[in-house]
Structure 1
Amino acid sequence: MQSLPVFLRLTGRPVILTGEGEAADAKRRLLERAGAIVVGEEDAAARIAIVADGDAATVARLRARGVLVNATDVPDLCDFTLPAIVDRDPVLIAIGTGGASAGLAKALRQRLEAMLPARLGNLATALFAGRAAIRARWPDAAERRRAIDAGLAPGGPIDPLRDGAVDGVPGWLAAEGVVTPSRLEVIRLRSGDPDDLTLRAARLLGEADCVYHHPVVAAAILDRARADAVRIMADGPPEMPGEGLSLWLEMDQP
Structure 2
Amino acid sequence: MPIEHIYQQFTTLDQLSRGRAELLAGRGSFTESFPLFGADLGDYEDLFDEKLALLLRLDREDPITWSGRFRPPLDNAHVLPRPYGEHLRVSIGTGGNPQSSARAGLLGLPVVYAVIGGQPERFAPLVDLYRRAGESAGQTGLHVTMGAIGFIAKKSQEAKDTFYPYWLETMKYGARARGWTIPSRADYDAYTHDAQAIFAGSPDEIADRLITVGRLLGADRYAMQMDWAGVPHHHVMSAIELLGTEVLPQVRAELG
TM-score (norm 1): 0.28
Q: Which has the higher strand share?
A: 1
Higher relative CO (Cα under 8 Å, sequence separation at least 6) belongs to 2
State the structure with more CA Rg: 1
